[in-house]
Amino acid sequence: MRSLFDRIAKPAAQSLPLPDQVLCDELASVEAELNRLLNTRSYIAGTTRRRSRTVVDYGLDSIVNAGSTLNSRVSEVVEGVKSAIDTYEPRLENILVRGVLQDGDPTKLLVNVKARLRQSQTPIHFQIPIAMPTKHAMT
């Protein structure tokens, strides 16, 4: 099933798609939504751990204020990614998130998301890059 944004932006064709096309459309929609979600920063940064998340909190908390060490920053970002996906992408279940620095560069985090589509139980895997702030950007 396509997201509301996808349905508004690109209305479906008059004929019903084949099941494989539906699955491909759903995968593309989930991937687009994850990219949108993970590259958006929460309007009210830092408050999502203390209360229930709402649409105002859409996205990740600011990672500028993440932990003081590289490992703690990566852990906090991975935790935030999982929380955001759990909250804002109901089409996924059994979500596993891992973060890997690209080429050992502390400013480039590659987030690996493995999950299953709820409706079809199809396993999925996405890799989404997230820019990590440097100490210079944090001061």
CA distance linking residue 66 with residue 74, whole number of Å: 8
Q: Are 58 and 37 in contact (CB under 8 A)?
A: yes
**Distance between CA 58 and CA 53 in Å, rounded?**
8
- Give strand pairing partners of 60: 41
Nearest to 26 by CA among 96, 130, 127, 115: 115
Distance of CA 84 to CAs 8, 35, 46, 95, 102, Å? 23, 12, 13, 11, 22
CATH topology of domain 4-138: Nuclear Transport Factor 2; Chain: A, (3.10.450)
pLDDT digits 0-9 by tens, 72-86: 778 888 988 998 899
List, for residues 22-32, the tens digit of each pLDDT value. 888 899 999 99
pLDDT by residue (tens digit) across 109-135?
Answer: 899 999 999 888 889 999 988 877 665
Residues 6+ apart with CB under 8 A from 40: 58, 59, 60
Strand partners, 91: none
How is the chain split into domains, by residue range?
A: 4-138
Question: What is the percentage of the chain residues whose pLDDT exceeds 70?
Answer: 67
List Cβ neighbours of 82 (8 Å cut-off, separation of 6 or more). Answer: 95, 97
- The token duo for 9 is 């932006």
